[in-house]
Structure 1
Amino acid sequence: MEGKDDGCISPQEGGTTRKPRRVGPDAKAKAGCTSATTDAAAQPGPDPTRDPVSDSPETCGGDHGGNTIGRAPGAAEPSSQETELEVDHDDLDPGIQACAAAGDGPDPALEPGHDVTPQRRARSRTKDAAALAAAAVLAGTAALGWLWKEQRDNEIAGRQALSAALRFTENLTTIDSANIDENFRETIDGSTGEFKEMYLKSSAALQQALRENKASAHGVVVESAIKSTSPDTVVVVLFVDQSVSNARAPEPRLDRSRVEVTMKKVDGRWLAAKVELP
């Protein structure tokens, strides 16, 4: 049986090998053959009743300023080597123009001064707040440390000044006519400033009166307290019991007095700068 020559290319017909023949597209179309080369020709032509612009899809974005305009039916696919189509936006549909305006506008994220990372700014504010809090804690700790040191220094100064005031007051209120020079020397050595100057001026006359009357006295501090304190000045209040006797009254007489002594720190020593007997 002989194969039918229908214009299509077939490697074998009726068991015999036939040489393929090149046929034109018209012949293939008539014979019902299909080929990839005839796909474009087989597409239907454009519909003259349709508006290629109004029927084209409208999309925002894309590679052409944010607008993609659909091709008319039957138009061939543009090749990658073809240049981009320049579109006059004034002739476009208002909807397409709106898309174009939205796509062509500048990206606010790229404008100068635009903060593209608000989270980073928030983190920066958090770090600043943490740094301020840490600085406040350090400042508070330093202030507390300074106050603690000042209080400790005042306590030490108070104890030292009180001890020196006790010795000075007992020396001042104790007099032995047989050892007047030694008593006055100890009192002068434990004093400074205003009181020392006054005591030195009156010491000669006082010694003479004590010798003539054969007077003697013995003082004992029974109570004491710190009235005020600072690193270099402490005011001490003392209550003294003093027994006094002389040639006219040989029996000792007990006198109780209140003494307020202002102590000053001079060259590391606490000395009596002022003595008051209210």
Structure 2
Amino acid sequence: MTGRQTALWIINAALLISVAALTVLGGVQLLIKGRPAPVALADQPDLRQAVTEAAATNTARILTYSADTIEQDIAAGLAVTTGDFAEYYKNFTETAVIPAAKQKNVKTTATVPHAGVISIDNPDTATVLVFVNQVVSSTDNPQPNQQGSSARVGIHKVDGQWRIASFDPQ
């Protein structure tokens, strides 16, 4: 074999090896990228429904109270909170809400007509935007007054129950 034939043989072998390597690489990529993507947590309808219902129900619970039953109402609200927010809620209601409610005979009823998931970080942590309607009356304003607002509610699953971990009015 001459030098020229040897060079051509080496070039042909290199091209053949390159084509084979690219074919194998393409096949591997097809296998890896051809698999369906896992369903994102926020796209799971049961989880979305659970977090929106929990955020709506618990928001109504922490914002609804009456002077006649204030201690029970606040205890019910505290039962659906967790972490730093539970401590804040307890302190705020003891120092501001309970005294004002008793002094001015305040009654407030909250409902959440709409709620939507902002994010679901993992199966036990989510953030929900809630739209709140509150009807408030007191001795100063005996005629019920309706107010609307919204809040960003962070919820965490604790012992199998969704609880409010943060509450940020918008």
Calculate the TM-score normalised by the size of structure 1.
0.50
Q: Distance in 2 between matches of 1:137 and 1:253?
A: 62
Q: Which residue identity is paired with 1:242?
A: Q
Shift of 1:126: 4.3
Shift of 1:161: 1.8
Would you say 1:189 and 2:79 are equivalent positions?
yes
| 1:171 aligned partner | 61
Larger Rg: 1
Q: For residues 148-186 of structure 1, what are the alpha-carbon distances to aligned partners after superposition, in whole Å with 9 as ceiling and x for unaligned?
A: 33x1x2233443221111001111221122322332122
| 1:128 aligned partner | 21
Q: For residues 14-59 of structure 1, what are the alpha-carbon distances to aligned partners after superposition, in whole Å with 9 as ceiling and x for unaligned?
A: xxxxxxxxxxxxxxxxxxxxxxxxxxxxxxxxxxxxxxxxxxxxxx
| 2:5 aligned partner | none
Q: For residues 204-234 of structure 1, what are the alpha-carbon distances to aligned partners after superposition, in whole Å with 9 as ceiling and x for unaligned?
A: 3332332232221111112322233322432
Q: Which residue identity is paired with 1:230?
A: D
Over 6 Å off, 4+ runs: none
Q: Distance in 2 between matches of 1:171 and 1:269?
A: 14
| 1:138 aligned partner | 31
Q: Which residue identity is paired with 1:263?
A: I
| 2:43 aligned partner | 155
Q: Distance in 2 between matches of 1:183 and 1:134?
A: 63
Would you say 1:255 and 2:147 are equivalent positions?
yes
| 1:240 aligned partner | 132
Write the mapping of 1:259-274 to structure 2, written as runs, cut at 5 A: 259-274=151-166
| 1:229 aligned partner | 120
Judge conservation of contact 1:158–1:234 (CA < 8 Å) in 2.
Answer: no
- Name the structure where strand makes up a greater proportion of residues: 2
Would you say 1:209 and 2:97 are equivalent positions?
no
Judge conservation of contact 2:62–2:78 (CA < 8 Å) in 1.
Answer: no
Calculate the TM-score normalised by the size of structure 2.
0.76
Percent pairwise identity: 21
SS at match of 2:113: strand
Unaligned runs of 5+ in 2: 3-7
Shift of 1:123: 5.8
| 2:110 aligned partner | 219
Judge conservation of contact 2:57–2:112 (CA < 8 Å) in 1.
Answer: no
Q: Which residue identity is paired with 1:235?
A: T
Shift of 1:187: 1.4
SS at match of 1:275: strand
- Name the structure where helix makes up a greater proportion of residues: 2
